[in-house]
Amino acid sequence: MADRTVSAGSQRTTAPPTAIPHAELRERVCAVNRALVPAGLVVLAFGNASAVDREAGVVAIKPSGADYAGLEPADIVVISLVDGSRVDGQLRPSSDTPTHLGLYRAFPSIGGVIHTHSTQATAWAQAGRPIPCFGTTHADHFRGPVPVTRPLTEAELAGAYETNTGLAIVERFEADGLDPDEVPGCLAVGHGPFTWGPSVEAALENAIALEQVAAMAILTLAIDPAATPLWPALRDRHHRRKHGSTAYYGQVADKRERA
């Protein structure tokens, strides 16, 4: 084992055991990626989670095709937010990295992004249908329908596909006048969901909520194919309990963490 003891003047100090660059960011991203499996959001190696450190100008993301079970913080790849170049890490970053970068650049308030092929949300993406806001569970997390992108053109598919996926999400938000803080997710048509949040942990909560409300919406339409969305006053009442300056749901420390 390497000697971690170093001399510093007349004193001898011990280097911290986790002295890898961007250690805290990588640990959080590793933990959230690993949490996708017990949350029932991924099978095989599908999906990826990332977090941004805007002060440092870097994004930490899961390595491409890596197994979740053995994932360690040192495996997490650190890339430049500006040009996508690898800053640290030995492995190749997720192939979806350009989509994550596009979202961080377009939505300056977000701190984490998650992509999965979770079954119920992906079913809506495959149907090319936005998920209607049928109830307060949905409104607590998404203020209105979870939108879906338009199909990419052949030229977009043949070119920078993952970059164009991100651009299509941003295009949907601009076209519909959506606020990414109020609607922290989008379905990539024929593919699957992307969620985000002020932190990667919040993005995970939104990914779990999205899968739940996607399932509820399917059941709602099975019971009543003519079911109508929640009326706006109740939708907004619920959303504002948890978000924004008038939020009062949860505990103070909890809210500060999610703010």
Task: Find the catalytic residue in 67, 176, 224, 249.
Answer: 249
**Residue showing tokens 């992108």:** 149
* Angle at 52 (CA atoms; ends 48, 58), nearest 5 degrees: 105
* Rounded CA separation 102/162 (Å): 9
**Residue showing tokens 């970059």:** 163
Identify each DSSP E strand in the chain by its residue range: 5-8, 11-14, 48-53, 58-61, 77-80, 86-88, 112-115, 185-188, 192-197
Task: Find the catalytic residue in 53, 88, 140, 181.
Answer: 140
Q: Are 189 and 172 in contact (CB under 8 A)?
A: no
Q: Are 235 and 144 in contact (CB under 8 A)?
A: yes
67 annotated active-site: no
140 annotated active-site: yes
Residues with a catalytic annotation lie at 140, 249
